[in-house]
């Protein structure tokens, strides 16, 4: 007797026929059952991993909206970014002398969009403050990269010298 809970193929999957057709199409085989990975990919509608990193055609990286509730405030929406950039920018904006308020949020963990809200004292625009902070960060990260590479190469040479002495 056949156990009714064991699926023998795509036709036995208890979903509507459109899902079965999509699963068969994604599996690339018209009659044979898919592998477990192909089955779950066909049933699961998750986006591909690269879709949360790469921008699509015509998609902008940053959208700027003027916040009318506060004077000299703007909301920057960074597409395909998360807490990494949000926390870094927000922490540096707090140190900027003309920035009164800065905060970020990620609306939902599955949507790779980060909103950064910035309010300045009116001497410069929020956009200028974000640009200044980004330029400073690029310089600091470049310096960090150079120092890290230098230290790595020195340690590599020291380890090579130690290995030659022990041989």
pLDDT one-digit tens code per residue, 51-60: 778 888 888 9
Coil/strand/helix, residue 114: strand
What does the pLDDT look like over 72-111, one tens digit per residue? 999 999 999 999 999 999 999 999 999 999 999 999 888 8
Question: Is the pLDDT at 36 greater than 90, yes or no?
Answer: no
Q: CA-CA distance, 108 to 106, in Å (whole number)?
A: 6
Q: CA-CA distance, 141 to 88, in Å (whole number)?
A: 12
Which pTM was predicted?
Answer: 0.66
Residue with the two structure tokens 């066909």: 42
- Cβ neighbours, 10 Å, residue 85: 16
- pLDDT bin (cut points 50, 70, 90) of residue 10 is very low
Structure tokens at 110: 């599955």
Domains of the chain as residue ranges with CATH: 10-46 (no CATH), 62-166 (3.30.1360.10)
């Amino acid at each position: 007797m056949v156990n009714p809970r064991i699926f023998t193929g795509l036709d036995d999957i208890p979903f509507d026929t459109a899902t079965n057709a999509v699963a068969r199409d994604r599996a690339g085989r018209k009659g044979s059952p898919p592998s477990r990975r192909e089955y779950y990919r066909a049933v699961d509608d998750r986006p591909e991993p690269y879709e949360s990193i790469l921008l699509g055609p015509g998609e902008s990286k940053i959208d700027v909206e003027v916040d009318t509730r506060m004077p000299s405030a703007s909301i920057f929406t960074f597409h395909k970014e998360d807490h990494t950039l949000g926390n870094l920018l927000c922490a540096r904006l707090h140190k900027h002398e003309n920035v009164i308020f800065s905060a970020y949020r990620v609306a939902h963990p599955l949507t790779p969009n980060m909103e950064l809200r910035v309010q300045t004292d009116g001497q410069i625009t929020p956009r200028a403050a974000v640009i200044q902070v980004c330029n400073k960060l690029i310089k600091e990260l470049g310096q960090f990269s150079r120092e890290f590479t230098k230290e790595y190469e020195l340690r590599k040479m020291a380890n090579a010298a130690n290995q030659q002495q022990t041989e």
